């Protein structure tokens, strides 16, 4: 029941943010993890968690450093979630290398997807950036006891 309440609280906050155009950060453990990892890894440009909602019909953004809270998972996110294979690509502007990967809790339960994005210029070592992103994901997953704790409101 606590999980359902927490997810509904996040959904309501996300809906309000979307309606008002505001970018207020959710006060959740997930957002604290995002903020902590960005402080540890200043080379990360964007860090986003797409996590399953209560009925598992979608994977909205629940934490990020770019806002967009509540934005539904797109085709790339869903492919990563359903296949477990990472999505590696340079964005259309050519200035970011995006690594999208499945996100799990520390017990290995699938929660959704994480996107780790780095600045990029032609000739940069994509495999090195992929490896760095995999290390960040491993750090994050060790800190997630469960879905309910990930989406829990913090003080």
Nearest to 107 by CA among 150, 60, 54, 145: 145
- The predicted model scores a pTM of 0.83
Using a 10 angstrom Cβ sphere, with 0-12 exposed, 13-18 middle and 19 or more buried, the burial of residue 148 is middle
CA-to-CA distance for 104 and 111, rounded, in angstroms? Answer: 5
Please state, in angstroms and rounded to a whole number, the distance separating the CA atoms of residues 89 and 34. Answer: 21
CA 151 to chain centre: 12
Say if CB 83 and CB 122 are below 8 A apart.
no
Domain residue ranges in the chain: 2-150
Question: What pLDDT digit, counting tens, does each position of 101-153 carry?
Answer: 999 999 999 999 999 999 999 999 999 999 999 999 999 999 999 999 999 99
Domain 2-150 homologous superfamily, CATH: GAF domain (3.30.450.40)
- 13-61 pLDDT, tens digit per residue, is 444 344 324 568 899 999 999 999 999 999 999 999 999 987 777 899 9
């Amino acid at each position: 029941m606590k999980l359902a309440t927490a997810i509904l609280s996040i959904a309501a906050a996300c809906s309000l943010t979307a309606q008002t155009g505001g970018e207020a950060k959710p006060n959740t453990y997930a957002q604290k993890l995002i903020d902590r990892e960005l402080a540890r890894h200043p080379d990360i440009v964007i860090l986003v968690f797409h996590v399953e909602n209560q009925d598992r019909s979608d994977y909205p953004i629940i934490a990020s450093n770019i806002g967009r809270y509540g934005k539904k998972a797109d085709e790339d996110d869903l492919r990563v979630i359903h296949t477990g294979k990472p999505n590696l690509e340079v964005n259309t502007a050519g200035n970011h290398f995006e690594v999208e990967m499945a996100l799990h809790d520390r017990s290995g339960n699938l929660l959704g997807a994480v996107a780790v994005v780095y600045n990029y210029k032609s000739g940069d070592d994509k495999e090195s950036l992929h490896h760095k992103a995999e290390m960040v994901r491993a750090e994050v997953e060790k800190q997630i006891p469960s879905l309910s704790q990930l989406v829990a409101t913090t003080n």
